[in-house]
Amino acid sequence: MRADWSYPTAIRFGPGRIAELADACATAGITRPLIVTDPGLLGLAPLDAAISALANAGVDHTVFADLRPNPVGADVDAGIDAFRSGGHDGVVALGGGSALDVGKVVAFMPGQTRPVWDFEDIGDWWTRADPDAIAPVVAVPTTAGTGSEVGRAGVLIDESSRRKVIVFHPGMLPAVVIADPELTVGLPPFLTVGTGFDALSHCLEAVCSPHPHPMSHGIGVEGARLVLENLPRVHADPGDLDGRGNMLIAAAMGAVAFQKGLGAMHALSHPISVRYGTHHGTTNAVVMPYVLAANRPAVEEPLGRLASYAGVAGGFDGLLDEILGLRAALGVPSTLVELGVDPSTGPDIAADAIVDPSAAGNPVPFDLPLAERMFDAACSGTLER
């Protein structure tokens, strides 16, 4: 499929669309882009294709790839220095969620006069920013997971407080997205799986969130179905462009859906990844069934409807079994211990989790005993039934 749509921003979807990068930059008003990308993409086909597309059109650019898988404030500071010193007027954010997040914050910050932490997604803090000083962004996802390409925020680790901070402003939404499934074909299997489960976690937590948002709820239901159908497809056949395209769509849908809210999967995953450096999507995949089981009294009905829509028999239990089977088939660890997490850190992780911004969207009141119960279950592999 090859198509354009404009929700929630201008999206150019389909194989080969990376060739339109220079035109996308022109549409966004960018004449000299800074490409912000993952260091792991240096010398690989997705970045080479982007560079060629710009070079063929005579568009001057430089590449910034000095960022971590779980980015910190210093990564943004280095990107801002590169943006200013290179005389850039916009950003091409190309890569997975980390590159997309850092790229958006790098475009947001050079014209601001306050530190990045002053724009955390708290109340009306976003109004502190000068909206006219935000540079435009063209987003090019190379993974199908975070959906950051259609988001208005970037997630960074504040090393001083050892927590993940959501930096938010409506003007951070990319002006144009190039969603080219060919760019995701070369992903290592563990990243295909981890990012795919991240998309699924966004959809599931949106569907389970108690906050009212009917449009996002419906988008989350369809996004979850797409992941359940297409993640095993692309794992079995990495070159399946239809499946890869459907996963890109599901990732974007998940990011739109979680405007309804996230929950304990993310509230637990954030402090775990800060402390242990684990992959965000993989961590979500590990805690997913334990969170769903603990939340069952509040989510059995909506997840039963989702199961029916997705063609999964057995309601809530059938969907839980489907997720467990998918995890096992795709090689996802069944416990946090397999990710290197020390079970004795449960009280500290739980204390951080209950104050995480995602905690408020959990369908069951997310207090310390529940957070510890979920963490302990995810460490031991004991699933509540």
pLDDT digits (tens, 9 = 90+) for 299-331: 999 999 999 999 999 999 999 999 999 999 999
Average pLDDT over residues 4-22: 98
Average pLDDT over residues 59-75: 97
Regarding pTM above 0.85, the answer is yes
- What's residue 162's pLDDT? 87
AA letter at 370: L
Is the pLDDT at 384 greater than 90, yes or no?
no
- What's residue 319's pLDDT? 99
- What's residue 256's pLDDT? 97
Q: How much of the chain exceeds pLDDT 90, in percent?
A: 98
Average pLDDT over residues 341-358: 97
91-149, pLDDT tens digit by residue? 999 999 999 999 999 999 999 999 999 999 999 999 999 999 999 999 999 999 999 99
- What's residue 201's pLDDT? 99
- What's residue 290's pLDDT? 99
- What's residue 183's pLDDT? 99
139-198, pLDDT tens digit by residue? 999 999 999 999 999 999 999 988 999 999 999 999 999 999 999 999 999 999 999 999
Is the pLDDT at 65 greater than 90, yes or no?
yes
Is the pLDDT at 54 greater than 90, yes or no?
yes
Q: How much of the chain exceeds pLDDT 70, in percent?
A: 100
Instruction: Sketch out the chain's domains with CATH numbers.
Output: 3-183 (3.40.50.1970), 188-380 (1.20.1090.10)
**Averaged pLDDT of the chain:** 97
Average pLDDT over residues 29-56: 98
